[in-house]
Every structure is written in structure tokens, then in C-alpha cells.
């Protein structure tokens, strides 16, 4: 058997329903069905042919390939910077015994650095 609510609780619930009801309806029936479900927090560009795949007289293809290369280089630089900061933070935090504990960070950074030099020179 349900408990009897006090008149004040019933009044408070009716006020909540009057204020929250239209807002909840609007969100569930208008906003959420029209939202784009995306897991990306940045703009996503489609991949274009590399510059060696462009025809010699295709300026647009060369421009797009150059812009893609620049974006890729910026991303690679940022990844390398993040790995370097992780290694440096580990060195600072694990000060006296840092060589044993920070070796995985150093190995990851050195491998990424080598791959960066192979890819970008």
C-alpha cells in the first residue's frame, strides 16, 4: 500500500512537474533526436592522395596534399611533445630513482622520436 504524502510534498512535486515537465519533453523529443552523435572533439578531414599521386598540372590536388601533410606534421609534433612532457614529468616526480621507473616513458619517447625522423626527417 503506498504511503500517503503530505500536502506540502504533493505541492512541491506538482511545482517540479510544471517547471521540469516541458523542459524534459523538449529535450527528449526535439533536442536529442536532432543531435549529431559524434565521438570526435575536433574536425575530421577526409584523406586525400599524397603529393606524389597528384598529376603535375593539378594545383588543387597539390594544395590539398600539402595541407594534409602540414596537419599530419602538426599532429605528429604534438604527440611527440606530449610524450616528451610525460617523460620529463616522470623524471621530476621520481627524482632519485628515475632511471628504473621512467624507462618505459623514455623508450616510448625514443621510439616515437625515431619514427618522427624517419617520416619527416
Question: Residue 106, exposed/middle/buried by CB under 10 A (0-12, 13-18, 19+)?
Answer: middle
Whether 45 has a pLDDT exceeding 90, the answer reads no
| 8 Å CB contact between 121 and 114 | no
Cell 565521438, residue located? 39
Chain-centroid distance, C-alpha 26: 29
How many percent of the chain have pLDDT more than 90? 52
Q: What is the pLDDT of residues 64-93, one digit of tens each?
A: 999 999 999 999 999 999 999 999 999 999
- The structural domains of the chain, with segments of one domain joined by +, span 1-40, 43-120
SS3 of 43, please? coil
Residue-level pLDDT at 40: 63
26-40, 60-74, 83-97, 107-121: the lowest-pLDDT one: 26-40
Check residue 66 and give its pLDDT: 94
Q: What is the pLDDT of residue 114?
A: 95
Distance CA 84, CA 112 (A): 10
C-alpha span between 66 and 61 (Å, rounded) = 9
pLDDT at 63: 95
For residues 60-84, b (16+ Cβ closer than 10 Å) or e, as one string? Answer: ebeebbeebeeeeeeeeeeebeebe
- Write down the pLDDT at residue 71: 92
Amino acid at each position: 500500500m503506498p504511503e500517503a504524502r503530505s500536502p506540502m510534498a504533493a505541492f512541491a512535486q506538482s511545482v517540479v512537474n510544471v517547471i521540469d515537465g516541458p523542459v524534459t519533453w523538449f529535450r527528449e523529443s526535439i533536442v536529442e533526436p536532432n543531435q549529431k552523435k559524434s565521438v570526435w572533439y575536433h574536425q575530421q578531414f577526409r584523406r586525400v592522395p599524397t603529393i606524389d599521386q597528384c598529376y603535375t598540372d593539378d594545383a588543387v590536388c597539390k594544395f590539398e596534399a600539402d595541407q594534409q601533410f602540414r596537419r599530419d606534421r602538426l599532429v605528429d609534433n604534438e604527440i611527440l611533445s606530449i610524450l616528451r612532457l610525460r617523460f620529463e614529468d616522470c623524471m621530476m616526480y621520481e627524482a632519485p630513482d628515475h632511471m628504473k621507473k621512467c624507462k618505459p616513458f623514455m623508450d616510448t619517447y625514443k621510439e616515437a622520436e625515431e619514427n618522427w625522423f624517419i617520416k619527416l626527417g
